[in-house]
A = this chain, B = another copy of it.
Amino acid sequence: MSEPSELRRDPAGGPWVIIAPRRAERPDEFAAREAAAGGLPMESCPFCPGHEGATPPETAAVREAGSVPDGPGWSVRVVPNKYPAVGTVAEPPPAAFDGGLFEVRPGAGAHEVVIETPDHNLDFSRLTSAVAGAVVRTWRDRIRALERDPGCAYVQLFKNHGRNAGASLSHPHSQIVALPVVPVRIAEEIEAAVLFRAAHGVCLHCRILEEETADGRRVILDEGGFLATAPFASRFPYEIRLQPRRHADRFVDLDDEETAALADRLRAVLGRLRRSLDDPPFNLLLHQSPPSGRGGRPDEEIAPAYHWHIEILPVLSRVAGFEWGTGIHINTVAPETAAARLRREEA
């Protein structure tokens, strides 16, 4: 076991960074496959049925009646990440080595993997409605569980699909990280939403949904209580935002019927993306309000102002010096063009 991870804040005005030397040790299926030049033998996938011993013991699973934990018979399986970005911290927090400039916190939290199907070659868009629904319910239930830790300030759900999107294994999976700080992107979105509501008396996102629906040019899918759009200021070509029409700031408050509806919309949207652009790599991420009391403002201010959503970011271009220098992305595909193409693709 090498050094534990820690959070450091850039004293020059940047955000938190996680220094996680342990993650450098994780195997890369794609590199291994290239080295073997003949495809990774399926037997070596730690997420395939029969290999349950290759992962840490499961924390949750959707299982056939009578099957036992860490054996086969599951349709969705949750395990701790073997190479976590953050994790349980045994040692006392290291002291910041300076009176203030160099701020350090222990990398406390949790990092879990949701194995979305036993089938190595499926992808989310081709899961059955029932299995996709079970995945989304599992996301909700695990986030709820991790939020109960009083040290947890935010739980980030994400999915990396394809090597260029940062996946190191191709077996369909998503990841959940419980963090001791509220991420800067969430804090900024909440701030914008709270200010908008203070000025206009309504939820910023409800207003955007309304205007996007009326305008229509950036709408990709409008079905079953969810709207998928190519966001007005898309940072990436074919970026997609999926959002419930009904105002709600917390994804974890969805009931089983709503998670099932969301799963079907996600399958539809990801299917359009796959067929329109020949299965591109993508990142998927969930944004919701932090757990009660940890949003930096009273819950009563955040709940009516913020609106949970999912972002899907295809990896079709490279982020380069200009973007890192400025924070301004250059996107060569207008969202109106992207939406038109994704709309044409039948569900």
Contacts and interface: CB of A to CB of B under 8 A. Distances in A.
A211 B98 contact: yes
Residue from the set A23, A188, A324 with the largest chain B CB neighbour count within 10 Å: A324
A66 interface: no
A188 to B, nearest CB: 5
Contacts of A335: 19
Contacts of A17: 233-235, 328-331
Copies of this chain: 2
A311 interface: yes
A3 B192 CA distance: 30
A165 B13 contact: no
Contacts of A74: none
A175 B283 contact: no
A21 B321 contact: no
A330 B85 contact: yes
A327 B85 CA distance: 14
A289 interface: no
Contact of A10 (B14, B101, B191, B231): B231
B165 A320 contact: yes
Interface in A107-161: 154, 156-160
Contacts of A331: 17-20
Interface string A305-339: 00000010100001111101111111111110100
Nearest to A182: B326
Given A9-B233, A191-B13, A233-B17, A166 B328 contact: no
B233 A325 contact: no
A189 interface: yes
Nearest to A164: B318
A6 to B, nearest CB: 9
Range of interface residues on chain A?
35 or more
A318 to B, nearest CB: 4
A18 B320 contact: no
A134 B331 CA distance: 32
A15 B328 contact: yes
Interface stretch (A49-57, A200-208, A271-279, A296-304): A200-208
B320 A158 contact: yes
Contacts of A18: 328-331
Residue from the set A16, A175, A331 with the largest chain B CB neighbour count within 10 Å: A331
Contacts of A183: 325-328
Nearest to A15: B327
Contacts of A177: 322
Contacts of A284: 321
B160 A320 contact: yes
A233 B185 contact: no
Nearest to A332: B24
A196 to B, nearest CB: 8
Interface string A23-61: 110000000000000000000000000000000000000
17 contacts: A3-B334, A8-B233, A12-B208, A13-B189, A13-B190, A14-B235, A15-B328, A19-B234, A21-B337, A101-B211, A102-B232, A154-B326, A158-B322, A165-B321, A283-B325, A311-B325, A313-B321
